[in-house]
Structures are given as structure tokens and as C-alpha cells.
Amino acid sequence: MTMRIEIDRPRCEGHGLCEEAAPDLLHLDDDGEVVIDVAEVDDEALERARAAVRICPVAALRLAG
């Protein structure tokens, strides 16, 4: 199963906790904006993606499939 990481840009405050949970999937750029490096998440990365979504304090990330 492949899921997609999506971000609600206006909601994101750039805390960076998602980056800590899944640094291979997303990161903060120099302006503090979340950049999704791997939008399509396969089974191997799904738990890390779920952790990133779960840890976001403002619920700016979601998984869609």
C-alpha cells in the first residue's frame, strides 16, 4: 500500500518535530518551512510517516491514500 504525505501549509508553524521523526521523508528548509522529500510513502517508511503526522503539534500533516 502506498500513502501520500500532505501538508496544510497555512497551519504549519515549522516546529520541526516531524523532521525529527522522519528525517528521510521531510525536512525544514532555511526559512523554517517543511519540505516533503518523499511524498509517496511505501510500507517500509509508513511507520515513520505516521510518527511524523502524529507528532505534529498543530496537525498540519496527514496521510492520504
Structure confidence by residue, pLDDT tens digits, 7-51: 999 999 999 999 999 999 999 999 999 999 998 999 999 999 999
Q: Is the pLDDT of residue 56 over 90?
A: yes
Which residues of 1-65 form beta strands (DSSP E)? 3-7, 26-28, 34-36, 40-41, 61-64
Q: What is the CATH topology of the domain spanning 3-64?
A: Alpha-Beta Plaits (3.30.70)
pTM of the model: 0.91
